Structure 1
Amino acid sequence: MATSVALAGARRRRVRSLATRQEIIEATISCFVEIGYFRTTTTEIAKKAGVTRGAVQHYFPTTQHVLEASIDYLRERWLELYFEAAHRTPVGKDYIDQAVDNMWELVNSRLSIAWAELVAASRTDPELRAIVEPAAAQYEKARLEAGRRAYPDFALALREVFERCRDTLEFLSEGMMRTVVIHDREHRIKTQLDWMKQELHKVWEQQSDKVRIR
């Protein structure tokens, strides 16, 4: 009986520990989004997470530890959201149109904004760049594979065409996300999204004999 109680207690502590660690990671990402990388400190993270500074240092002894954990989380959570979006295409909705809408939604998520902040900050911070560059390579490889898995019919039709279309969609969407201060932004962005849908349709019409969408 005593052993069972001790095991139950240990499980509860482990669950609480994992929850606290996750809260710290989420708080770190929120800090990147809300105040930027260079103002994100252990004190700010602790304040956002609602824990003590000592608690943050207990789980993440150095800034590099919490940064690496946050980047890992950003990558894994983004991929989860990507698959969720890809698999919720409404009945009757065009797959290409939905893919464009999904990408635009994802690049405007807090995850993508936090990642963009880290990439931008790494330009002038060699230590951050040493962490971000290899992570970016892994991130991009995972995103490419996620696209193939999410849209297998397109990807298998002609891999080179699929990857070029995916890159076009990703690069233009991320570029538009970063273009914040422009005149008539909403209208101009909608125009570009509609244009991307039209152009991607043209590409795949040329491949219609190879593509069979389930």
Structure 2
Amino acid sequence: MATSVALAGTRRRRVRSLATRQEIIEATISCFVDIGYFRTTTTEIAKKAGVTRGAVQHYFPTTQHVLEASIDYLREQWLERFFEGATRTPVGKDYIDQAVDNTWENVNSRISIAWRELIAASRTDAELRAIIEPAAAEYEKARLEAGRRAYPDYALALRDVFERWRDTLEFLAEGMNNSAIVHDRERRIKVQLDALKKELHAVWEQHGDKVRIR
């Protein structure tokens, strides 16, 4: 009986420990989004997570540790969001339209905002750049593979075309999100996204005999 109680207590502590670690990672990402990388400190992370500075340092002894954990989490969350949007096209909605809308939603998510904050900050921070460059390379590989897995027939039949348009879609969405569009922003962005959908449909119509849509 005593052994069972002890094991149950150990399991509860382990679960709580993992939960605390996750809360610290999510708080770090929130800091990147809300106050920016350069203002993100152990104190700010602790405040956002609702824990002590000592707790943050217990799980992540150095800044590099929490950065690496946060970057890994951002990549995992992006892939999860991508697949959820790519593989769950609403009934009656065209899958190309869904791909464009999914990409636009993703670049506007807190996950993407946090990632771009780190990329921007790494331009003038050599320590961060040393961490972010290999992570960015892994992120791009994962992003490419995610697209191939989400649209396997199209990617296999027309790999070069698929990858070129995949990049076009991603770069345009990221560029629009980063640009300082103020006047009539929503309408102008919609015009660009609608035009891109039209172009992608034209590509599909040209190569449709080579591809089977699932």
Please state if 1:66 is matched with 2:72: no
Equivalent-residue separation in structure 2 for 1:126 and 1:8 (angstroms)? 46
Q: Give the Å deviation of 1:180.
A: 3.5
* Structure 1 unmatched ranges of 5 or more: none
CA–CA distance in 2 between the matches of 1:102 and 1:180?
22
- Two-structure CA RMSD over aligned residues (Å): 0.8
Hey, what's the Cα distance between the residues in 2 that align with 1:50 and 1:181? 36
CA contact (8 A) 1:29 1:70 kept: yes
So what's the TM-score if we normalise by structure 1?
A: 0.98
Q: Does the alignment pair 1:145 with 2:112? A: no
Rounded to whole Å, the distance in 1 between the matches of 2:27 and 2:58 is 15
Paired residues, what number?
214
Q: Where does residue 133 of structure 2 map in the other structure?
A: 133
Segments of 4+ in structure 1 off by > 4 A?
none
Matches within 5 A, 1:2-151: 2-151=2-151
Which letter does structure 1 place at the counterpart of 2:146? A
Q: TM-score, normalised by structure 2?
A: 0.98
Structure 1 distance, partners of 2:132, 2:142, is 15
Question: 1: CA distance between counterparts of 2:190 and 2:52?
Answer: 44
Shift of 1:181: 4.0
> Distance between the aligned counterparts of 2:156 and 2:206, measured in 1?
15
Q: Shift of the alpha carbon at 1:182? A: 3.0
Give % identity: 85
Give CA deviations for 1:83-119 in whole Å, capped at 9, x if unaligned: 1111210112111011000000001000000000000
**Following TM superposition, by how much is the alpha carbon of 1:142 offset from its aligned partner in structure 2, in angstroms?**
0.3
Q: How does 1:180-199 map to 2 (within 5 A)?
A: 180-199=180-199
1:158 aligned onto 2:158:
yes
User: Would the aligned equivalents of 1:157 and 1:207 in 2 still touch at CA under 8 Å?
Assistant: no
User: 2-side partners of 1:84 and 1:180: how far apart?
Assistant: 29
